[in-house]
Amino acid sequence: MKNAFKKAKKAVSKAGQHIHWLTSEGGSGSASRHAASERMFISTEEPEEFQTLSTHRPILILDSQLVLRTQEEAKALRLLNQKTYALTKCFDEDLLVDTGMRKEFNEVFEAIGWSDFAKIPEGGIMLLTKEFLMMLRTDTQRDGTYVWFRLFNTNYELTLCQFNNLLDFSPQCTLSEDIAGFSLAEFWQELVGPDAPRKKSIAHIRHPTLWFLARWLTMVVFPRDDTRCVTIEDVRCLYAMWKKIKFAPTLSLVRRWQELAQSGHIISIMSFVTRIANGLGIIPNATIPFMPNDPTLVVKESHFIHAHFLRKDINGKYIMTFRGCDFELPLPAPWSPSQNQEETVSLES
């Protein structure tokens, strides 16, 4: 084995490339995660000498170890190198509990099949995220849509359903974006009233649970520079949450990640990439630098108080405020918004 290693190292030196190993060892994901790898194909395009070392740890610790196979990939990497990378944000647990939103979130996530997806404890790996985004794409064929990406110099082709399983959405979720009964204009008007401005902003939502969920979507699921405005992807998810429809926005996520790679300033999806790699079973046996936890990425009460969406009364209890009206709501609410839909969706200003 030592001779084989020397031989491979010599071959790499001649080719001016770096060693990338893929191993099937390790992995602690669920059965559904490992099932997702059944149809994947592996294409390393490396010399035969490399294959003798498949039991070695995959290593990715330097930018120079990212193999570029086309001019398009080189251009994509140059663009990705200009980005700022951050871990995926999370909401402060004490804030969620004290506002009653932890219970509300759990009920909503259970209803729509997001209970596992919404748990985002994974750390971030900047180099692996660059490699993932460098060639992330979808391909629609006669038998369905496939997602292509690369990890540790290995190309993966997964069905949309398999990719969905890696993200930990429930397999019962529909992946179609054509949700029965959903109309962007009609549902938005139902949420904010008939006199809402054309520009769709979270500030116009009068339902407390959906307001917090919208904020969570724009900061965690579909991260962007401006988290105040909502998109059709956000509203579609809110509709599924409102109607308790099992729906996974997998295609929307892939599109959003592609947009971040092209035009975003901050790449904060590293935890999702780590989850995908974990689901494929390649993280436990790899040598890679994890980004340390950043406490500033925990969204705490100060964020909402500074934005004038929350305040505290003299007893330290949270009061939710709504821009453009005098209505205020104590939190936790004396009723459950997730159970009394018709009563709470539209609050008069």
The full DSSP string for 273-327 is HHHHHHHTT-STT-B-PPBPP-GGGEE-HHHHHHTTSEEE-TTS-EEEE-TTS--
Helices assigned H by DSSP within 113-157: 126-134
Which among 130, 118, 149 has a CA at the least distance from the CA of 221? 118
Does the CA dihedral 166-168-172-176 come out positive or negative?
A: negative
84 to each of 93, 265, 266, how far by Cα in Å? Answer: 26, 6, 5
Query: What is the model's pTM?
Result: 0.80
With H, G, I as helix, E, B as strand and everything else as coil, classify residue 176: coil
Q: What is the pLDDT along the chain (349 residues), one digit of tens a residue?
A: 444 334 333 333 333 333 232 332 333 344 344 444 344 444 444 433 323 334 456 788 888 889 999 999 999 999 999 999 988 899 999 999 999 999 999 999 999 999 999 998 778 999 999 999 999 999 998 889 999 999 999 999 999 999 999 999 999 999 999 999 999 999 998 888 877 777 889 988 988 999 999 999 999 999 888 888 899 999 999 999 999 999 999 999 999 999 999 987 899 999 999 999 999 998 888 888 888 778 778 999 999 999 889 999 999 999 999 877 778 899 997 655 444 444 444 433 3
Asked whether the beta carbons of 159 and 146 are under 8 A apart, the reply is yes
> Does residue 47 have a cis bond before it (omega within 30 degrees)?
no
The full DSSP string for 32-82 is HHHHTTSS--------HHHHTTTTSPPB--SGGGS---SHHHHHHHHHHTT
